[in-house]
């Protein structure tokens, strides 16, 4: 449900089961894989890049970089400092367009915030402003790059399961933080 609701047909998604490069397929190829085999789990659970990539990584050892992102659609907010129940309470009160909320399988919730930035510069500006405002609330200020990864629901991470808690594919980038609708 998460990939179907947050990516478009033909977009490339990078998924990692171990530290390293991972595997890249189109959204529909991943949906077929999950239908036939389930969501894979590795030593780190399962991570995915929440913004689509170009399918041709330009980083060292074949890794993806921020330059390989094809749409600056989402930003990630998370906190490893706040207790789980407080994380949910704070996220629910934020005036942000939350597209998805996932439980990491351990100590945090990952919220995908709809940004819809037109380019990398606008993404850095808007996401930097958002993270600066959230830092005093205990949110991690280092989650601001567009090629960052989040937890893919359905995978096991140790004894905990990564889960989708909330999904709103209709969320838009219209907020007091981001200005007018993009």
pLDDT in tens, 26-38: 999 999 999 999 9
pTM of the prediction? 0.92
Q: For residue range 116-153, list pLDDT tens digits in order.
A: 999 999 999 999 999 999 999 999 999 999 999 999 99
H-run or E-run covering 84:
helix 84-93
> What is the C-alpha separation between 12 and 43, in angstroms, rounded?
23
3-state secondary structure of 68: helix
Q: Which residues contact 31 (CB under 8 A, 6 or more apart)?
A: 3, 4
Q: Is 109 left (phi over 0), alpha (psi -120 to 50) or beta?
A: beta
What count of Cα atoms within 13 Å lies in the side-chain half-sphere of residue 170?
A: 0
């Amino acid at each position: 449900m998460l990939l179907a609701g947050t990516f478009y047909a033909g977009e490339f998604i990078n998924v990692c089961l171990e530290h390293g490069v991972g595997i890249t397929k189109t959204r529909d190829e991943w949906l077929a894989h999950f239908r036939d085999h389930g969501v894979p789990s590795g030593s780190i659970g399962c991570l995915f890049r929440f913004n689509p990539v170009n399918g041709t990584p330009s980083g060292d050892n074949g890794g993806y970089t921020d330059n390989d992102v094809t749409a600056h659609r989402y930003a990630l907010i998370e906190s490893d400092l706040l207790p789980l129940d407080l994380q949910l309470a704070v996220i629910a009160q934020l005036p942000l367009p939350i597209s998805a909320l996932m439980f990491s399988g351990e100590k945090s919730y990952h919220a995908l915030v709809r940004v819809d930035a037109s380019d990398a510069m606008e993404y850095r500006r808007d996401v930097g402003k958002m993270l600066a405002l959230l830092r005093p609330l205990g949110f991690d200020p280092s989650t601001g790059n567009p090629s960052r990864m989040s937890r893919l629901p359905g995978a096991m991470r140790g004894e905990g399961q990564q889960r989708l808690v909330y999904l709103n594919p209709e969320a838009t980038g219209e907020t007091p933080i981001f200005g007018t609708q993009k």
